[in-house]
Amino acid sequence: MVKPSPAFAVIPGAQVHAALSGREKQVVEIVEDAYRLHGTGRTVNPPSYFLRFPDRPDARIIALPASCGGDIGVDGIKWISSFPANIRSGLPRASAALLLNDPATGYPFACMEGSIISAVRTAASAALAADWLSRDRPRPRRLGIVGTGLIARYLHTFLAATGWDFDEVGVHDLRAEYAHEFRSCLERSGETAPITVHDDPEDLLRSCDLVLFATVAGRPHVTDPELFAHRPLVLHISLRDLSPEIILRSANIVDDIEHCLKADTSVHLAEQHSGGRQFITGTLYDVMTGTLRPDPSVPLVFSPFGLGVLDLAVAKYVHDLIHDAGELRVVDGFFHELDRYGQRQTTAD
């Protein structure tokens, strides 16, 4: 009897997008489950690996290997690039592919377009954090968005889909035309709050009590702690916008302490500046389990490094949705050498 060849599917971006559209609440629940798995030690999430280029210093490609146990049950890796110069030619800055592996055999069973999954898990993580971190302080009513690319769009979508509404929305980008285009995008999405384009980012920061940073900044550009004197909740998604002085005067929540304290993130710089990591208040898992209640009398900053286990959890969900719908695009004969002696594989050893 011939052994069946392991199946291998390719899932393009259109299928990923269709599978995830309208399922924001479910994705937030999946991301929360993944954080709980990680918090109880049922994941493997090694350090991310950065491929950098001496001739292209602003570009990078990052490998995020990971493994999810529990009901998710998948291994794999995300391979994601960031090439900011793409924007000038009309291409998105980031592109990505995801490879999923069967934890029983190690065989990869799917290759997926990964930039949508990456954006979705980032937005779901931020929406989850906004919910949990606002439970012991007045719920924010004035949203400010710094950086107006794809991630910012997904962040706004997930906030709206999980019940957030605002009295005011402010946006800022170094390129004013991008900020105005983003305002139009939000208006088309159904945002009913007045939307203001801020030429001065400091005006936005002073006027908003929920601030999203979704930039491509490589080093801190916001340095005045007084900009946060009104104690906002800051979703520091891009990780490198805030100076160590601001970090050290805030309550700091991360997704994983060891992962965030590297690669010259703002919290990494704060560790170097202060000589320790006592300024890290705890993790989002600590907040979700009730073991930590951040001090509401200081600014609250959430700095998620972005765990590969979140990508895998969302990717497995997408794969299963498409599989159950009978729409997987399987590549016949993808695996060829399945017998150690070059003969057809049979049940006889």
Spell out the long-range contacts of 256-264 with Cβ–Cβ below 8 A and sequence spacing 24 or more: 256/38, 256/45, 256/283, 256/305, 256/307, 257/283, 259/45, 259/47, 259/48, 259/305, 259/307, 260/303, 260/304, 260/305, 262/47, 262/305, 263/48, 263/50, 264/218, 264/219, 264/240
The domains found in the chain, sorted by start residue, are 9-117+308-324 (3.30.1780.10), 124-303 (3.40.50.720)
* pLDDT (tens digit per residue) in 68-80: 999 999 999 999 9
Lookup: tokens for 132:
């949990």
Look at residue 187 and tell me whether its pLDDT is greater than 90: yes
Mean pLDDT on 3-26: 94
pLDDT at 4: 73
Mean pLDDT on 35-45: 97
- CA dihedral (243, 244, 249, 250) positive or negative: positive
**CA–CA separation, 153 and 24 (whole Å):** 13
In the chain, the percentage of residues whose pLDDT exceeds 90 is: 90
Quick count: other Cβ atoms within 10 Å of Cβ 191? 18
Mean pLDDT on 50-71: 95
Q: Give residue 3's pLDDT band: very low, low, confident or very high (50, 70, 90).
A: low
What count of residues does the chain have? Answer: 349
Look at residue 348 and tell me whether its pLDDT is greater than 50: no
Mean pLDDT on 174-192: 96
pLDDT at 241: 98
Lookup: tokens for 167:
């009295």
pTM of this structure: 0.93
Look at residue 296 and tell me whether its pLDDT is greater than 90: yes
Look at residue 2 and tell me whether its pLDDT is greater than 70: no
What is the full DSSP assignment across 45-99? Answer: -PPPEEEEETTEEEEEEEEEEEEE-TTT-EEEEEEEEE-GGGGGGT--SEEEEEE
Look at residue 63 and tell me whether its pLDDT is greater than 90: yes
**Mean pLDDT (the chain, rounded):** 95
Look at residue 237 and tell me whether its pLDDT is greater than 50: yes
pLDDT at 338: 85
* pLDDT (tens digit per residue) in 92-106: 889 999 999 999 999
Question: Contact 265/305 with Cβ under 8 angstroms?
Answer: yes
Lookup: tokens for 1:
């009897």
Amino acid of residue 249: R
**CA–CA separation, 215 and 147 (whole Å):** 5
Q: Give residue 189's pLDDT band: very low, low, confident or very high (50, 70, 90).
A: very high
SS3 content of the chain, % helix, strand, coil (to 5): 35, 25, 40
Q: Give residue 349's pLDDT band: very low, low, confident or very high (50, 70, 90).
A: very low
Lookup: tokens for 53:
């280029």
Look at residue 156 and tell me whether its pLDDT is greater than 70: yes
Look at residue 176 and tell me whether its pLDDT is greater than 60: yes
